[in-house]
Structure 1
């Protein structure tokens, strides 16, 4: 698969309360494994080779865990929100130089079991500028 994936994982995670005061949501343990590890394993299994993690709040912890992505069989780069969180649109705008014209977007707290190859083919065949799955 040729499209990279942007994973939005920079929010404050306020709904998880005390769980995310010292650890970012992406590193919360889910059945013995940090959630971001589950997401990265999933996208690799889908044939993705390049991921851009859009980080903000406590993002250095995510970077320390993921590194360059080689442990997950991926090439991982990082886009940073900075001191003022930019929200979904702002985070993607900042990541555009790392992503290129076409890319997938996944939320860092969602696990969507979908065949990304089918989605990519549908997008390319549609000729449209964007495609959203729900």
Structure 2
């Protein structure tokens, strides 16, 4: 039977690291853990660089600034997601750190490109979950 090398039962007051994406699930998890007495620290993984100015995709689609606010959708690990996560952590009164994994994530992208070039069907999410 698999026995992970982590405590099986954390008690209130224990420090826990909460991966915060800026979305509802991680925000509620942080809130519930804090509410139950855990010493929470929020972390966000930066996997790309922030654009210096709004960009449109290659198809000529409008940039985010050109779309009505209600139609905006945040991407995974975007700058706006980090801002949302930081705001939630601030509201909860917990420390927050944005960690830079840009160089590490380049390995995941390289894996995807290499596998795709070999006519394979890569799954970068699985590799990312294992490596990062």
Q: Would the TM-score normalized by the shorter structure come out above 0.5?
A: no
Relative to its length, the structure with more strand (as a share) is 1
Q: How high is the TM-score relative to the length of structure 1?
A: 0.27
Between 1 and 2, higher relative CO (CA 8 Å, sep ≥ 6) is seen in 1
Larger radius of gyration: 2
